[in-house]
Amino acid sequence: MRQILAVALGLVVLAASACSAPAPPRSDAPRATPTGPATLPAPTGGHPVGTTALYLKDTSRPDPWDPDVQARELKVTLWYPTEQRDGQRSPYMTPKESELFLKGSGIASTPYDTLSKTRTNAVKDAAPSGRKLPLVVLSPGFTKPMSTLTSLAEDLASRGYVVAGIDHTYESYATTLSDGRVAECLACDSSSDPGFGAGLVQGRAADVSFVLDQLTSKWKHSDLIDRKRIAMVGQSIGGAGTVAAMVKDPRIRAGIDMDGTTYARIPQSGLSRPFMFLGSQEHVPGGGDNSWDRDWKLLTGWKRWLVLSDAEHQSFTDISLVADVLGLQPLPGMLPAARGAELTRTYVAAFLDQHLKSLRQPLLEGPSSRYPEVKFCPATCGHS
């Protein structure tokens, strides 16, 4: 499995499969300068955003990573429209989560609680507003907590979606559970095993189906969700998990893989529901990863394959947005963090608006002069 070491960033960018073990902290990493806490970009939709956490336990199956745990426990963070504009903003991470994430990522250039000070836009435990809203499930990359997709989640909620972000327990550096325990990355011990990626995404598919069961029937605000309008978006191994979940669960009407090598095999009969690949240059046809070439032929419904020029693996997450406060510098010529976030939000929302809200999106029909970085594959991009 490949691992790209972004030396100028001073951290490991876990590319494609994101299943490699992290590099140790670099003693020569650039030192952070005091810049104040990071602030996530404001949501672009018309609704204030609320958020809350649910702790769910699937007693029908043991935990795949801890043989001593007989039930799979998950933390699900929900973002949703609210009428409440004022109130306590939800924390981005706890100090302990920030510490474990930075240590695991090999970032020793800043105080370990730095990410816990990141400013978000959602009001903690605000009352939801609306009913029968489309639901979007988010799944993060391997070793990454769900919080690294907060900017995208807040933006979608402001546009009228309920967003359910799943922390896949023991697959990230830190997940705080209901009793305050912090689950660390047990799966990291197996990441070099043969078949690891394929097994992991099947486990994620099971997590997603269980969460859908809970949210659509047992959650106290289940009337907030339209069961017929559900989509899934994942980054890296979360994108691979999106394919696996769609193959397994027909309730997921549409899906997006953001820069993830795919592992779940699509049946030869094909996958006819709408699907979009959104990735970095590694994912051009004939590029460094051939899984998209393979799966593109098996997508038999509406489909798009978009590549962002000069993007890297974390351009689709918050990690590039918080790089400054971590004392990290972007590689020369890479897509600026704010622009990466704007493109990700814009194209993900366009896809979801078209397929969950039936709002036609000309943006998805071809290249745009407003967003020249976005290449439509395979027609207008190639391996360079």
Q: How far is CA 287 from CA 179, 261, 358, 378, in A?
A: 45, 12, 33, 11
pLDDT number for residue 383: 52
Question: pLDDT class for 288, splitting at 50, 70, 90?
Answer: confident
Arithmetic mean of pLDDT, 329-334: 80
**Is the pLDDT higher at 34 or at 197?**
197
Q: What is the largest CA-CA distance in the chain?
A: 55
**Mean predicted lDDT score pLDDT of the chain:** 89
- Per-residue pLDDT of 134-180, as tens digits, reads 999 999 999 999 999 999 999 999 999 999 999 999 999 999 999 99
Q: Residue 9 pLDDT more than 90?
A: no
For a pLDDT cut of 70, what percent of the chain falls above it?
A: 90
pLDDT number for residue 2: 31
Question: pLDDT class for 109, splitting at 50, 70, 90?
Answer: confident
Arithmetic mean of pLDDT, 57-73: 95
Which amino acid belongs to residue 28?
A: D
DSSP one-letter code for 299: B
Arithmetic mean of pLDDT, 280-305: 91
Tokens representing residue 301 in the block: 């419904």
**Residue of 181, 4, 211 lying closest to 94 (CA atoms):** 181
Arithmetic mean of pLDDT, 180-196: 94
CA–CA gap between residue 16 and residue 282 (Å, rounded): 8
DSSP one-letter code for 17: T
- Per-residue pLDDT of 216-258, as tens digits, reads 999 999 999 999 999 999 999 999 999 999 999 999 999 999 9
CATH numbers and ranges of domains, the chain: 4-22+41-277+313-339 (3.40.50.1820)
Q: Residue 276 pLDDT more than 80?
A: yes
- Per-residue pLDDT of 49-59, as tens digits, reads 999 999 999 99
pTM of the predicted model, to two decimals? 0.91
Order of strands across the sheet that contains 303-308: 123-124, 49-58, 72-81, 162-167, 133-139, 225-235, 254-258, 275-279, 303-308, 374-377
Tokens representing residue 343 in the block: 């493109």
Q: Comparing 25-34, 158-167, 302-311, 327-336, which segment has the lowest mean pLDDT?
A: 25-34
Q: Residue 23 pLDDT more than 70?
A: no
Q: Residue 31 pLDDT more than 70?
A: no
For a pLDDT cut of 90, what percent of the chain falls above it?
A: 80
